[in-house]
A and B are shown apart, each in its own frame.
Chain A
């Protein structure tokens, strides 16, 4: 079945770059997403990428997609303490007509001052 895997924890210093990685198994994934969850809150969409793209940049965020290896990464440049949160990778399959999201377990990003 479909599966999305992420490492559980990443710690960086303020001002450094953060790279959060994600792998997925569904070769028919159409859209891949990065969501951010701050403590006690719901999820907020950060960015997404279509499966026919290799890279997408949005201000401090860069998403890289290696479709051959089914690997997705989120790079946050100049990481700030306000970036501390849980980051979820998610995919939805073009073979599904429901648009349902399959989420990874989430990566907790800790930013040290």
Chain B
């Protein structure tokens, strides 16, 4: 099992550009989430999904879109990047609602 994989590892964008952060898991987990990590602020939930076709907003959803067309994939889209979106982004998945969340290695995004 590869676990949770994320691509790319690093990305630099200019303000206004769009991009998609990819996340995939091969553990057949129903629950998937996107977090951003900023210094001194811990991790904050952006969007989450409780199964294919079902997504919902987390704590800081503005500026991000998600979709969940398959159990395995949960991409995060930035439609028009802003410097405030400079952060490290983590995708996570879990088998059960309150089960252990498995995290990907993260994507470090810089928006200039």
Chain A residues with a Cβ under 8 A of chain B:
4, 8, 30-31, 41-45, 48, 88, 92, 97-101, 103-106
B26 CB within 8 Å of chain A = no
Contact B97 A99 (CB under 8 A): yes
Q: Which of A42, A99, A104 contacts B42 (CB 8 A)?
A: A104
Cα distance, A43 to B33, chains bound together (Å)? 13
Q: Which of B44, B48, B101, B106 contacts A45 (CB 8 A)?
A: B101
B90 CB within 8 Å of chain A = yes
Residue of B with least CB distance to A31: B98
- Return chain B residues, CB-CB under 8 Å to A104: 42
* Interface footprint category on B: 20 to 34
Contact B42 A4 (CB under 8 A): yes
Cα distance, A41 to B37, chains bound together (Å)? 12
Contact B33 A100 (CB under 8 A): yes
Residue of B with least CB distance to A93: B98
Contact A43 B90 (CB under 8 A): yes
Cα distance, A89 to B40, chains bound together (Å)? 13
Cα distance, A4 to B105, chains bound together (Å)? 23
Name 4 extra pairs, CB < 8 A, besides A98-B48, A98-B56: A4-B42, A43-B101, A100-B33, A105-B41
Residue of B with least CB distance to A96: B97
B75 CB within 8 Å of chain A = no
Of residues 4 through 47 on chain B, the ones whose CB sits less than 8 Å from some CB of chain A are 4, 31, 33, 35, 40-45
Contact A103 B105 (CB under 8 A): no
